[in-house]
């Protein structure tokens, strides 16, 4: 088997590496010092430069304004962009917008695409996704308290959401709400396109995450829907299709996330290796001469490479056989790569010592903000249980009703 990356992938990797070294890495000290929102004017300039590379919103087809990358090609791009906290944003392929673009293309009406999708793809607006609720466990997505009732010429949405990434500064949200509580568990909810300036939609606050409330896209919000009225035309897909649409969103989305995490791992390992090779623990004796540090480096290298191959395989299976056929691989990469990320970041921080705790490198930022990788989009334990059940069914085991 030939593991040599195709020339197209190598070319886009090099384009991104050059761009990030020149345009994005120098911004990281200001990001750590001043926060994301303070960098918005500068990031707007960087986005203009990113457009000139031909890779802006590259995950989309050329017909929709992207570069037409396949899922496996975009996986390589996502890994490169993951090496800096602002990479995906500058190239307009950041979560949750990337997933919202994809489901609007797949399920949106022409009018919805014109109003919501076109400015999103162009980078003129941002969006968010309101699903998670503080009163109900995210591990059971069929249990939602937010409702939408049909009231004449509009749907009326009432509910409480949190961990809404990037609500601050967004133009609209895609809201998941129960429209038929009597239906089957996976047919109760629907999705709605809700402008964030709608009367009754309250931004309660940005959540304090590990001591920081963040700002603009780099934040997670608590929001309330106080009888928010949206026209029938803002129903996304058919009524009761909310979970079906969400599943379409999750498969490719997990490839994007996992490859971003691998990019973070690569950057963290690079920082650790540079430090180990140059930091002296005694005159003429680099830190890297310590056996435990060598072990951290070797184990990280092995785990990152193994995780990458798993994700590439999952992406290939999605492309060739579809999301449903790849559901086991999707669950496997979710918890495997998230755990790899946690271990690699912990080793890098430990190896850097006091330096690792400071904001002089992005390690501390990722250590605090990416721990949630093992929780978001389904906790590790949920995916582990699902995979084990599927395996055991192959041995004839049946779960009790």
CATH number of the domain encompassing residue 341: 1.20.140.10
Which of 236, 262, 282 represents a domain boundary (last residue)? Answer: 236
**Structural domain total, the chain:** 3
Same domain, 254 and 349: yes
Beta bridge partners, 147, equal 158, 178
Contacts of 9 (CB under 8 A, 6+ apart): 73, 76
Same domain, 133 and 115: no
Same domain, 198 and 249: no
Same domain, 301 and 283: yes
Same domain, 322 and 356: yes
Same domain, 97 and 22: yes
Residue 2 lies in a domain: no
Which of 63, 87, 122 represents a domain boundary (last residue)? Answer: 122
Q: For residues 209 and 166, is the Cβ–Cβ distance under 8 A?
A: no
Same domain, 253 and 188: no
pLDDT at 2: 57
Look up the CATH number of the domain holding residue 92: 1.10.540.10
Same domain, 381 and 355: yes
pLDDT at 3: 62
DSSP 24: I
Instruction: Indicate the average pLDDT of the chain.
Output: 95
DSSP 36: T
Range of the domain at 214: 127-236
Which of 122, 137, 164 represents a domain boundary (last residue)? Answer: 122
Same domain, 197 and 112: no
Dihedral angle computed from the Cα positions of residues 379, 381, 385 and 391, in that order, rounded to the nearest 10 degrees:
90
pLDDT at 1: 47
Same domain, 253 and 369: yes
Same domain, 257 and 218: no
Residue 180 lies in a domain: yes
Listed as ranges, residues in the chain with pLDDT below 70 are: 1-3, 401
Same domain, 252 and 372: yes
Nearest by Cα to 183 from 229, 231, 224, 144: 144
Look up the CATH number of the domain holding residue 190: 2.40.110.10
């Amino acid at each position: 088997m030939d593991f040599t990356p195709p020339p197209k992938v190598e070319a886009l990797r090099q384009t991104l590496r050059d761009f990030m070294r020149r345009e994005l890495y120098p911004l990281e000290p200001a990001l750590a010092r001043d926060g994301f929102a303070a960098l918005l004017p500068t990031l707007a300039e960087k986005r203009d430069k990113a457009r000139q590379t031909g890779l802006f919103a590259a995950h989309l087809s050329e017909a929709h304004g992207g570069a037409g990358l396949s899922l496996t090609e975009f996986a390589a791009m996502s890994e490169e962009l993951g090496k800096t906290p602002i990479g995906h944003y500058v190239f307009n392929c950041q979560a949750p917008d990337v997933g919202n673009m994809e489901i609007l293309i797949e399920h949106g009406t022409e009018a919805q695409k014109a109003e919501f999708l076109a400015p999103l793809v162009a980078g003129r607006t941002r969006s968010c996704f309101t699903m998670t609720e503080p009163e109900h466990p995210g591990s059971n997505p069929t249990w939602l308290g937010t409702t939408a009732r049909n009231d004449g010429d509009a749907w009326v949405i009432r509910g409480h959401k949190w961990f809404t990434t990037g609500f601050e500064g967004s133009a609209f949200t895609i809201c998941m709400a129960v429209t038929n509580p009597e239906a089957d568990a996976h047919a109760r909810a629907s999705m709605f396109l809700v402008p964030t300036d709608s009367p009754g939609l309250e931004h309660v606050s940005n959540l304090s995450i590990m001591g920081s409330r963040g700002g603009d896209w780099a934040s997670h919000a608590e929001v309330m829907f106080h009888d928010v009225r949206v026209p029938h035309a803002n129903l996304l897909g058919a009524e009761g299709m909310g979970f079906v649409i969400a599943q379409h969103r999750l498969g490719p989305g997990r490839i994007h996330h996992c490859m971003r995490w691998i990019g973070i791992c690569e950057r963290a390992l690079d920082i650790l290796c540079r430090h180990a090779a140059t930091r002296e623990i005694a005159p003429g004796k680099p830190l890297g001469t310590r056996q435990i540090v060598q072990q951290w480096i070797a184990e990280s290298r092995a785990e990152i490479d193994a995780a990458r191959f798993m994700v590439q395989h999952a992406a290939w299976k999605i492309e060739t056989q579809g999301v449903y056929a790849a559901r086991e691989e999707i669950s496997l990469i979710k918890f495997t790569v998230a755990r790899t990320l946690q271990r690699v970041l912990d080793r890098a921080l430990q190896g850097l010592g006091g330096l690792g705790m400071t904001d002089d490198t992005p390690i501390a930022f990722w250590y605090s903000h990416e721990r949630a990788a093992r929780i978001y989009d389904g906790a590790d334990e949920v995916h582990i249980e699902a995979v084990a059940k599927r395996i055991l069914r192959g041995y004839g085991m049946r779960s009790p009703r």
